[in-house]
Amino acid sequence: MHGLKSISLVIATIALFGAAAAQAAEPVKIRMAYVVPIANWAPMIAAKKDLAKHWGTSYVLEAVHFQGTPPMITALANNELEIADLAFSTFGLAIQNAGLDDLRVIADEFQDGVPGYFSNRHIVRADSGINRIEDLKGKVLATNAIGSGIDIAMKAALKKHGLLDKRDFTVIEVPFPAMVSFLKEKKADMISAVMPFALNTYYKEEAKVLYDQTAGLGRSQFSELTARKSFIDQHRAALIDFMEDMIRIERWYLDPNNHDEVEKIAAVFLKLPPDQFGWLFTKQDYYRDPNARPDLAALQNNINATAELGFLNTSFDVKKYSDISMVEEAAKRLQ
């Protein structure tokens, strides 16, 4: 009887360790946020998973759609999301207002205002009589959302020219697709244009760019990939594997030799003809670092500007809230 109990105990122990080993071998689930399919990396990476070497082994990726970046903060706080692509403005709010003190910048998504590449534009009607920023005094300006990166960049330029929000101009919120009609119908004197909406033919034929985002912020780390330190500490190895695959896939998209296929992928996502995407991942588009390395100096300047405009209580040291060691290790593997 005693022998049978011993055998049962051994079997149970083996089963327990076997289950633990199987569980440990399960790929880490990485839920990665996105808003616009072709602008944000998550769905584009999933579309080329055939280039990934670690997908299904050390990790699996799930692209999760959000209407904007603020809901991502809630998802991060509730552990319903592992990687969020936050704008610089939302990143600051997540740390200061949402209490996500363990949030870390881990990689680049895209940058604005890099010399030779696209920068978000602020556009007026050609016949408006508005020829310089000072002419916006008393005007109605359209932004996508109060406190967004676009909004902060717009107001930063105005402040440099002595114009302050609420005192010298009025700001209204308008979705990007509706911006052109607001300008046409004179419901707004200036609108904000991001890619691909900035390519609307009306802007070329009957409007003009008054200034771009560099006038307010210079170079911007406009969107960055972020994750919580608790997740990083627990799954660092899997994250490095993921970033290795991510960089490999991003470089494929950035390679001009692959542009015909890139256009076809974009066409499927947005249900438009492939020839509508000749600009995508070229110098007509935002800059994306081929090693996925974020520009922390630019991000620091962006955070400082956000605080100066009153959207943050105070600025903070961006490096304290960054961990780019994983993306650096991943890039080394691909050298």
| Whole-structure pTM value | 0.85
The tokens 């991060």 sit on which residue? 76
Domain assignment present for 157: yes
| Sequential pLDDT tens for the chain (335 residues) | 555 455 554 444 444 444 444 445 799 999 999 988 898 999 999 999 999 999 999 999 999 998 778 889 999 999 999 999 999 988 998 998 888 999 999 999 999 999 999 999 999 999 999 999 999 999 999 998 888 888 989 999 999 999 999 999 999 999 888 999 999 999 999 999 998 889 899 999 999 999 999 999 999 999 999 999 999 999 999 999 999 999 999 999 999 999 999 999 999 998 999 999 999 999 999 999 999 999 999 999 999 998 988 888 899 999 999 999 999 999 999 98
Same domain, 107 and 224: yes
Instruction: Note down the domain range covering 189.
Output: 121-212
Domain assignment present for 301: yes
3-state secondary structure of 130: coil
Cβ distance 329 to 240 under 8 Å? Answer: yes
Q: How many domains does the chain have?
A: 2
Domain assignment present for 311: yes
The C-alpha atoms of residue 122 and residue 140 are separated, in whole angstroms, by 13
Same domain, 193 and 224: no
Domain assignment present for 96: yes
Domain assignment present for 2: no
Cα dihedral 144, 159, 39, 331, rounded to 10, equals: -150
Same domain, 179 and 257: no
Within 13 Å and on the Cβ side, how many CA atoms surround 14?
6
Please identify, among 189, 212, 235, the residue that sits at the C-terminal boundary of a domain. Answer: 212
Same domain, 48 and 148: no
Please identify, among 212, 243, 278, the residue that sits at the C-terminal boundary of a domain. Answer: 212
Same domain, 195 and 63: no
153-199 pLDDT, tens per residue?
999 999 999 999 999 999 999 988 899 999 999 999 999 999 888 98
Same domain, 95 and 32: yes
Domain assignment present for 178: yes
Same domain, 98 and 145: no
Same domain, 173 and 201: yes
Say which CATH number the domain at 155 has.
Answer: 3.40.190.10
Please identify, among 212, 242, 259, the residue that sits at the C-terminal boundary of a domain. Answer: 212
The secondary structure element, H or E, covering residue 14 is: helix 2-25
Cβ distance 183 to 130 under 8 Å? Answer: no
Domain assignment present for 3: no
Quickly list DSSP for 77-94. Answer: HTTS-SBEEEEHHHHHHH
The C-alpha atoms of residue 187 and residue 178 are separated, in whole angstroms, by 11
Same domain, 91 and 133: no
Alpha-carbon separation of residue 285 from 19, 150, 151, 241, 277 (angstroms)? 49, 16, 20, 28, 10
Same domain, 18 and 108: yes
Range list of β-strands (E), the chain: 28-34, 59-65, 84-87, 103-112, 121-125, 140-143, 170-173, 190-193, 207-212, 220-228
Domain assignment present for 239: yes
Same domain, 97 and 246: yes
Same domain, 182 and 279: no
